[in-house]
Amino acid sequence: MTTFLPDEVQAGLDAARKRDLRRKSRLRIHAGDEVYRVLRSWDGGFALDADTAPHLRGLVEMHEGSQHLSNCLIVASEEEAGEIRFEYKRTTEATAEQPLDFERPMNAPVALLGKG
């Protein structure tokens, strides 16, 4: 049995696979004013559609739906099978709290009580 497929059939299968990955993923990359849908992600990076995404480099934001997940410093690593793969140089989780520039004592009061 042979595993050879005509180019048209292979292109159709690749397009269907990308469409399915786009539909499943809620992750998006925000680079400036542009938004790109993530096809798949792993611990060290993520992949975008090579047809719609440029070779990004630098600081981007990762969102899941409307929730901001992290700020990522990225570099494009390779392009294969219609995907551009990016690797993280650094990721920082987005939090709702502002970072403190001082050390908070363990026994610090939580609130002040007024005189009654």
Please, what are the averages of pLDDT over each run of 10 residues along the chain (116 residues)?
73 70 74 89 89 87 88 90 90 80 83 77
The residues spanned by each domain of the chain are 27-93
Q: What's the pLDDT at 23?
A: 60
pLDDT of amino acid 39: 87
Say what the alpha-carbon torsion angle 110, 104, 71, 47 is, to the nearest 10 degrees.
Answer: -90
Q: Per-residue b/e over 72-108, b at no fewer than 16 CB within 10 Å?
A: bebebeeeeeebbbbebeeeeeeeeeeeeeeeeeeee
The amino acid occupying position 14 is D
d(CA 114, CA 116): 6
State residue 85's pLDDT score: 92
Give the pLDDT score at 40. Answer: 86
In the chain, % helix, strand, coil (3-state, to 5) comes to 15, 45, 40
Q: In this predicted structure, what is the pLDDT of residue 84? A: 92
Question: What's the confidence (pLDDT) of residue 18?
Answer: 66
User: What pTM does this model have?
Assistant: 0.64
Q: What is the pLDDT, as a whole number, of residue 19?
A: 67
Q: What is the model's pLDDT at position 106?
A: 86
